[in-house]
Structure 1
Amino acid sequence: MSHRMRVGVVGAGRVGAVLAAGLRAAGHLVVAAAGESDASRRRAAELLPGVPLRKPSDVARESELLLLTVPDDMLPNVVKVLADSGALRAGQIVAHTSGRHGLAVLAPAAAVGARVVALHPAMTFTGTAVDLERLQGCVFGLTAETAEHGLAEALVRDLGGRATWVPEEMRTLYHAGLAHGANHLVTLVSEAMGLLAAAGVDDPAGTLRPLLDAALDNALAHGDAALTGPIVRGDVQTVAAHLDDISVNAPDTLPSYVAMAWATLDRSVTDGRLLPIRAQRIADLLSVYGGPDLEAQFTRTSAPSEVERG
């Protein structure tokens, strides 16, 4: 963006401080930030040295571009309070970074004539300088009125990112996809490391890293075709042994293992890689531990495969 803007950020958390630092590196002037917690203050001092911490309303009044980087559930109230206090004005750019919300939450700002944008980075943040490098090539989920498309894309370019447009009514589903993929991945990997540690592996993370790197690359490139392991092979006895050992040694992990086994079984059948008769045997085994009945899925499988005909 050629115009050098005065930028303010309300919510100097992991996302806000990093994005403000990214915009400053692109030549914009970060004039003020708001953050109440000790962690936010430390983050601002490290990533935005020299930027004063002020009340949210004061930050808004000083800014041409106001970044609202507060938690999703707080965002509606923050926008309303700022608008009702007269801190927002016509022509000002007000952008939030919520994945779930689109433009509706910014209606009070739009009502006073502000230019509104939903600008969500599809990235997990540490709140440190490491994140500035990760912004390069990061995809931002954008929602804006047609007249503001150029503005939104220019902001993303200044941050080193790439834009993808998300319809207003699809914001929640978009965000659910990211949360399911990233947040639940952390839970899954942490539980897998716990199983390896319980098995006596001295370096669970190092053991998993090459396998997970390859699995992630293959999944992103090939989807369900990347599935490997005992379920897609129909190895009922191996799955049974897993369940027995997890029940004894890591019972807290058993519910998620069973849930993911059901989901993997469903996808393996739908993908046509697992014969229904083998799938049913695994389903019978999993049903002992609870979960959905996939019999309907198996019975609606299309015509027999070449293996079955043979």
Structure 2
Amino acid sequence: MADRAGRLGVGLIGAGKVGAVLASALGGAGHAITGVAAVSEASLTRADAMLPGVPVLPIPEVVERSELVLLAIPADELEPLVAGLAATGVWQPGQLVLHTAARYGTDVLDPARRAGAIPLAVHPVMSFTGTSIDLARLAGTWFAVTSPAPVLPIAQALVVEMGGEPFVVAEADRPAYAEAIDTAVSFSTAIVDQASGLLGGIGVGRPGAVLAPLVRSAVENALARHDAGPGVEGFADSDGPE
């Protein structure tokens, strides 16, 4: 295993919009991307664009090659995948295993932990396009981090290397955190879609462009009212992905 303070061999399982971008960010921070496991045509195309030259490999081989395994797959697939890999004996002692699902902390990684792996749960509070545009957007983006206390600095350091700002969410609080994230995304998307539809219905051209300054300023004003709310101190600590 490489020195944790140095560079890691990073393997990506799931080249969705989140995974491909985070792996690219880690590669940009100097880590070596050892392989990617992707199945769908969209994921393969995304992997080729965001991680050029990185070999596409079967999942067990990605795990075997990597010191940090990035699991960027839909939340519902996490538990069976981690348990299935544990049954094959591919998890390695001291290996970092990081998932990006909002709703789970590290309990879902227990089969890997029992094999000696180090579990990390890291979720970026950002909506992804799956393109290089996201790399710039990562700068200053908050990441929810859950991990055992002794390895929390590792998770926080990885977030900082990707350009983000880590904040800690307790294991028991992950469901509420996930609900908050889903509420923000669902309501903001629905409101913009509804307002754009109404403007389009009365013949307004480019309703998205017309609404953009209003929506941004309204959201920024609302966020400012909550910027110094309870729990902000924790920030200093710190979609499915497909």
Task: Answer whether TM exceeds 0.5 for this pair.
Answer: yes
Is 2:43 aligned against 1:57?
Answer: no
- Look up the SS of the partner of 2:212 in the other structure: helix
Structure 2: distance between partners of 1:35 and 1:112: 24
Within 5 Å, give how 1:89-104 maps onto structure 2.
89-104=92-107
Query: What's the counterpart of residue 84 of structure 2?
Result: 81
1:1-310 matched pairs, under 5 angstroms:
2-222=5-225
SS, match of residue 9 in structure 1: strand
Q: CA deviation at 1:204?
A: 1.1
Amino acid at match of 1:184: F
**In 2, Cα distance between the equivalents of 1:167 and 1:131?**
27
Q: Secondary structure at the match of 2:48?
A: helix
Distance 2:212 2:18 in 1: 26
C-alpha distance in structure 1 between counterparts of 2:117 and 2:225, whole Å: 43
**d(CA) in 2 for partners of 1:95 and 1:209?**
35
What is the aligned partner in structure 1 of residue 239 from structure 2? none
Q: Structure 1: which 4+ aligned runs deviate by more than 3 Å?
A: none
Query: How far apart are 1:160 and its partner, in Å?
Result: 0.7
Equivalent residue letter for 2:119: V
SS at match of 1:140: strand
Residue 303 (structure 1) aligns with: none
Deviation at 1:215?
A: 0.5
Query: As a proportion of its length, which structure holds more helix?
Result: 1
* Cα deviation, residue 197, structure 1: 0.8
Point out the structure with max Rg over C-alpha. Answer: 1
Which residue of 1 is the match for residue 232 of structure 2? none
Q: Scaled by the length of structure 1, what TM-score is found? A: 0.70
Determine the structure 2 residue equivalent to 1:234: none
Partner Cα distance (1:11, 1:57) in 2: 13
Aligned counterparts of 1:156 and 1:97: Cα–Cα separation in 2: 12
1:171 alignment partner AA = R
Q: Distance in 2 between matches of 1:62 and 1:142?
A: 25
Per the alignment, residue 237 of structure 1 pairs with none
1:183 shift after superposition:
2.8
Q: Deviations over 1:117-163 (max 9, x none)?
A: 00111111111000111111111100001111111111011101000
TM-score, structure 2 normalization = 0.90
Gaps of 5+ in 1: 224-310
Structure 2: tracts of 5 or more residues without a match: 227-242
Q: Can you list the C-alpha shifts for 1:236-290, whole angstroms capped at 9, x where unaligned?
A: xxxxxxxxxxxxxxxxxxxxxxxxxxxxxxxxxxxxxxxxxxxxxxxxxxxxxxx
Whole-Å separation in 1 of the counterparts to 2:9 and 2:209: 45
CA distance in 2: counterparts of 1:32 and 1:199, whole angstroms:
51
SS at match of 1:193: helix
RMSD between aligned alpha carbons? 1.0
> 1:94, 1:11 → 2: CA distance?
14
SS in structure 1 of the partner of residue 12 of structure 2: strand
Which amino acid in the other structure matches residue 224 of structure 2? Answer: A
Q: Distance in 1 between matches of 2:51 and 2:152?
A: 28
Other structure's SS at 2:128 match: coil
Compare 101-110 and 198-207 and name the one that shifted more.
Answer: 198-207
**1:203 deviation in Å?**
2.6
Q: How far apart, in 1, do the equivalents of 2:74 and 2:187 lie?
A: 19
1:206 Cα deviation after fit: 2.0
Relative contact order (alpha carbons < 8 A, sep ≥ 6): 1 or 2 greater? 2
Residue 184 of structure 1 deviates from its aligned partner by 2.4
Alpha-carbon distance between aligned partners in 2 of 1:56 and 1:178, rounded to the nearest angstrom? 29
The one-letter code sitting in structure 2 at the alignment partner of 1:23 is L
